[in-house]
Amino acid sequence: AGMNFYDRRCQLEDQLEYQTLKARAEAGAKRLLSLNLKKGDRVALIAETSSGFVEAFFACQYAGLVAVPLAIPMGVGQRDSWSA
């Protein structure tokens, strides 16, 4: 069992087993903490809904960081509206 990801045509695009998710999220948490981030720091996640997004989200959780999902910019200049 795990998570399934579908494209816009409802075709299975990717699968992610929970054991794999856990291993990748724990590894991601170690990488995030190696960047001198501290528990409670915010981490912007800019990605489509995909296995990579889920892995990054759970990596933040394992590291004690606050995941902040942001929409992918669709037009020129949209990134300027984000603040650090």
**pLDDT 10s digits, 29-44:** 999 999 999 999 999 9
Is residue 14 included in any domain, yes or no? no
pLDDT at 81 over 90: no
The pTM assigned to this predicted structure is 0.80
User: How many domains does the chain divide into?
Assistant: 1
Is residue 60 included in any domain, yes or no? yes
Is residue 8 included in any domain, yes or no? no
Please tell me the number of Cα atoms within 13 Å of 39 on its side-chain side: 3
Q: Is 15 helix (H, G, I), strand (E, B) or coil?
A: strand
Sign of the Cα torsion 25, 18, 23, 52 reads negative
Is residue 80 included in any domain, yes or no? no
Is residue 15 included in any domain, yes or no? no
Is residue 58 included in any domain, yes or no? yes
Domain limits for position 30? 24-74
Is residue 16 included in any domain, yes or no? no
